[in-house]
Structure 1
Amino acid sequence: MNTLISGGMVVSADPAVGDLLRGDVLIENGRIAAVGPGIDAAGAEIVDASGKIVMPGFVDTHRHTWQTAFRGLGADWTFGQYRVAAHGTLGPHYLPEDVYLGNLFGRIEALNSGVTTLLDWFHRADRPENADAAIEALRDAPGHSIFCYGAAGPDIGPEIRRVRAKLADEDMALGLRGPVMSTMDETAADVALARELGLPVSVHVHGTGGWPRGDRPIAEMHERGLLDDRTTVVHGNGLSDDQLTMLADVGGSVSVSPDVELKMGFEPPITGRALAAGIRPSLSIDDCPSAGGDMFSAMRTALAAERGALTTRDVLAFATVDGATACRRGARTGSISVGKDADLVLLDAEDPSVFPVGDPAGTIVSAGHPGLVDSVFVAGKAVKRHGILLGVDLPDLRARLLESRDRIAAAAGVAVDGSWRPQEADVTR
């Protein structure tokens, strides 16, 4: 059956469609068939969107979802402390079922706040079973998910090929070890493998006290032909303007995690500088131990950090259509456009925290929060309605995730009440 979302304030993120003070969105076979006022759709199921803002689903281009069980634990940590805690202390105690629960609950939590597309940057791949558990969780959760395999170890080829055979073309990316965490030769080998397998690459680069192998990592990659339009640089703090231009010239993208970058002591977010260099940035959460898992907070921080260089329209595009482009799904999602998947979010515009709504886009960025998310549709299928997730046994998942967290914490010998202060790590390795 077709569905007509009727009478909402439509914020399309598509310049050709614009905004509609009162408009309809017709869904046919999971895709957007029409957008406009007063659409005649006889026989369609009617979703009354009066008093609602209808917007595209958010796209999160970088999240370490496996860490969900330790939400809030790292709110006061520096990056060095986070690395010790997540990778040195907690991570080694993760079993595949812990990875599964972290990824499943984290993906559902993201969906609950309107993230319909998420790139899961998975770097707990110390055993194949962990990667399989992460993928299984993403498949079991509603929503579009991309598994970004964080390369680990010197001989990653067989494992990456094994996982590549399990996933559709658009559902996998390769997370590079370098150039910060490995040599440039290793980085070149990883990029060559990604290109052979048709995978986009995502790479962490940020300034937290100096580069371990020279101070121009993107320039070195560019000189060796390792950058192209399938490259996403995560963070990018500290990169010089000319390196951003190099990335822009090859059509690369940037994923900015403003909350984590400011909290953990990175250099300032590069959102405005990336835009000035010709790169449309995307936004991401990074990790939930340190930051909230919703894109509303990320948008608000991005705007505040760059006030004067950005508009609310810019930031909303970063969190939707530009994120979709960075994930190579720009033709499928990110805006309310005819032919795209019906990945839609309905926000309560009558909630006291936002009423009355004058500028819907400005309201979303300046005052939006997860509590406003009334409904979420993924490819036309309702996965949340009237504030309730559909087909999800949250009490059971909460109990299982809590048991997982407590087991890992006990095995690691750490407290989860906020009193644990990990020893600072050398972040220039």
Structure 2
Amino acid sequence: MRTLISGGAVVSMDPAVGDLPRGDVLITDGVITEIAARIDAPDAEVIDATDRIVLPGFVDTHRHTWQTAFRGVGADWTFAEYRAAMHGTLKPHYTPDDVYLGNLLGRLEALHSGVTTMLDWFHCAQSPAHVDAAVQALRDAPARSIFCYCEGNVTVPVDAAELRRVRDSVDDGLVTMALGLRGAQLTTMDIVAADLKLAAEFGLRSSVHIGSGGARGSRPVDAYREHGLLLDSMTFVHANGIEDDELRMLADAGCSVSVSPDVELRMGFGWPMTGRMLAAGLRPTFSIDDCPSAGGDMFATMRTALVVQRGLDGGLASKDVLEFATVDGARACGLSARTGSLTPGKDADVILLRADDPSVFPFNNPAGTIVAAGHPGLVDTVIVAGRVVKRDGALVGVDLPALRARLLESRNRIAAAAGIPVDGSWRPPTESE
């Protein structure tokens, strides 16, 4: 099976391929096989990319997708309020079906806005049934996803038998697995070490929150280093307030980092660490984090990261930001050989953006326009592993009205059980109050 994306402006994110003002991309059996100014492939299905920008799909390296039903409810919450609301008040009322609907609609929403690869950082593992529901939702969404499993009990290491069971149920090609560490902020270094040993045995990358709400004078990265727990298979999320020498420790160890600029600024974590990470030799990646607090699209995330860093030191370029959202994100997920750029031999994870939309026309500077003015409404076509999953602005084969109705029922039931409104007027009490 061959597909020819024809006549678009190609932004490949691969220096060896470069950018083409007018180019064709040939896909054979789900893999990119050729990129050139013009390709003769008379037997291929043609996707007309006239007035379209053709680029790799975005990569989100950290999102708590199960919370989708409460989108926007926490727009004014602090981190303490978010934690009290989502984990203390709402999560206890989630059934496996609620998890399934949140994960499915959340993953479809990300796909709709051009996120072809997403790490689902799942910390609603209240039972094996909750875990299975989250995994099934990712499998039912036609996207590339990493299910990042996090054990809920912070007092014990991850159970090896359960981890094996989940891993065996996950890997189907497009859906793979990682381990979400509780981290030194929540548990002991001995448990972190045990979890990392188990991750290595199962061949899993790991992800851990650090500096959430600011490091407050502690040196958490140095503590990981002293215990021999800085590995090149680890992604550190947020890292706000981390010292410069600790960032260099992460770089020296080959770790990756994930920045959530909207949530970090909104919840008072501190300035996003994008520029300081670059100065330390790290390539940042991007995270939406959670939709109760922030929008779910990569365009807004890129724009916030750019304007904040340029406001701080003026030292960030649009092309850098686009790399964070694509090729650098794929590398952090261990998928750089498969996705993140338009490169012959990689899987065809491709998005087409409308260049004729009045909000971006004329599309003079592709990278600059995508980062500075892009929005989900531009996403015309989405292709995952060669399969068209969004065409002419609509997801293919998805009954959105039925899913929306089910998600609203889920939201209303959880909110009623928790005794809270969903209009943003409720401010959850925190431990300090």
TM-score by length of 2: 0.96
Q: Deviations over 1:135-154 (max 9, x none)?
A: 00000001001000112211
Q: 1:81·1:425 contact (CA, 8 Å) conserved in 2?
A: no
Q: Deviations over 1:375-413 (max 9, x none)?
A: 000011100000111010000000000000000000000
Partner of 1:354: 360
Give the superposition deviation at 1:165: 2.3
Pairwise mapping of residues 288-307 of structure 1 onto structure 2 (< 5 A)? Answer: 288-307=291-310
Pairwise mapping of residues 68-83 of structure 1 onto structure 2 (< 5 A)? Answer: 68-83=68-83
Task: State the distance in 2 between where 1:132 and 1:30 align.
Answer: 28
1:156 aligns with 2:182: no
Task: State the distance in 1 between where 2:318 and 2:203 align.
Answer: 35
Q: 2:214·2:240 contact (CA, 8 Å) conserved in 1?
A: no
Q: Deviations over 1:42-98 (max 9, x none)?
A: 211111101000010000000000000000001000000000000000000000000
Partner of 2:404: 398
Q: 2:89·2:418 contact (CA, 8 Å) conserved in 1?
A: yes
Give the superposition deviation at 1:38: 1.0
Q: Matched residue of 1:118: which SS?
A: strand
Distance change (3 Å), C-alpha of 1:25 and 1:128: same
Partner of 2:346: 340
1:120 aligns with 2:120: yes
Distance change (3 Å), C-alpha of 1:356 and 1:197: same
Partner of 1:139: 139
* Root-mean-square deviation (Å): 1.4
Task: State the distance in 1 between where 2:335 and 2:32 align.
Answer: 15
Structure 1 unpaired stretches of 5+: none
Instruction: Give the number of equivalent residue pairs.
Output: 425
Pairwise mapping of residues 165-244 of structure 1 onto structure 2 (< 5 A)? Answer: 165-168=168-171, 171-208=176-213, 210=215, 215-244=218-247
Task: State the distance in 1 between where 2:214 and 2:429 align.
Answer: 17
Q: 2:214·2:239 contact (CA, 8 Å) conserved in 1?
A: no
Q: 1:83·1:425 contact (CA, 8 Å) conserved in 2?
A: no
1:63 aligns with 2:68: no
Q: Matched residue of 1:22: which SS?
A: strand
Letter in 2 for 1:394: L
Give the superposition deviation at 1:239: 0.6
Partner of 2:381: 375
Distance change (3 Å), C-alpha of 1:299 and 1:207: same
% identity of equivalent residues: 66
Partner of 2:327: 321
Give the superposition deviation at 1:265: 0.4
Task: State the distance in 2 between where 1:118 and 1:207 align.
Answer: 21
Q: 2:157·2:195 contact (CA, 8 Å) conserved in 1?
A: no
Distance change (3 Å), C-alpha of 1:426 and 1:319: farther
2:257 aligned to 229, 232, 254, which one?
254
Give the superposition deviation at 1:155: 4.4
Q: Matched residue of 1:267: which SS?
A: coil
Q: 1:62·1:284 contact (CA, 8 Å) conserved in 2?
A: yes
Q: Matched residue of 1:148: which SS?
A: strand
Q: 2:215·2:240 contact (CA, 8 Å) conserved in 1?
A: no
Give the superposition deviation at 1:167: 2.6
Deviates more, 1:331-340 or 1:216-225: 216-225
Deviates more, 1:222-231 or 1:56-65: 222-231
Deviates more, 1:62-71 or 1:171-180: 171-180
Q: Deviations over 1:287-328 (max 9, x none)?
A: 000011000000000001111121000000000000000000
Pairwise mapping of residues 29-68 of structure 1 onto structure 2 (< 5 A)? Answer: 29-68=29-68
Q: Matched residue of 2:294: which SS?
A: coil
Give the superposition deviation at 1:207: 4.8
Q: 1:207·1:239 contact (CA, 8 Å) conserved in 2?
A: no
Task: State the distance in 1 between where 2:334 and 2:384 align.
Answer: 17
Letter in 2 for 1:189: A
Deviates more, 1:169-178 or 1:109-118: 169-178
Letter in 2 for 1:360: P
Give the superposition deviation at 1:425: 4.0
Partner of 1:417: 423
Letter in 1 for 2:76: D
Q: 2:13·2:327 contact (CA, 8 Å) conserved in 1?
A: yes
Structure 2 unpaired stretches of 5+: none
Distance change (3 Å), C-alpha of 1:425 and 1:14: farther
Task: State the distance in 1 between where 2:8 and 2:213 align.
Answer: 45
Task: State the distance in 2 between where 1:340 and 1:360 align.
Answer: 22
Give the superposition deviation at 1:331: 0.6
Task: State the distance in 2 between where 1:238 and 1:155 align.
Answer: 28
Q: Matched residue of 2:109: which SS?
A: helix
Task: State the distance in 2 between where 1:143 and 1:410 align.
Answer: 32
Give the superposition deviation at 1:283: 0.3
Give the superposition deviation at 1:156: 2.2
Q: Matched residue of 1:171: which SS?
A: strand
Letter in 2 for 1:239: I
Task: State the distance in 2 between where 1:329 and 1:104 align.
Answer: 22
Give the superposition deviation at 1:209: 5.6
Deviates more, 1:145-154 or 1:232-241: 145-154
Partner of 1:102: 102
Q: 2:157·2:192 contact (CA, 8 Å) conserved in 1?
A: no
Give the superposition deviation at 1:424: 2.8
Q: 1:64·1:122 contact (CA, 8 Å) conserved in 2?
A: yes
Task: State the distance in 1 between where 2:326 and 2:229 align.
Answer: 27
Task: State the distance in 2 between where 1:31 and 1:344 align.
Answer: 11
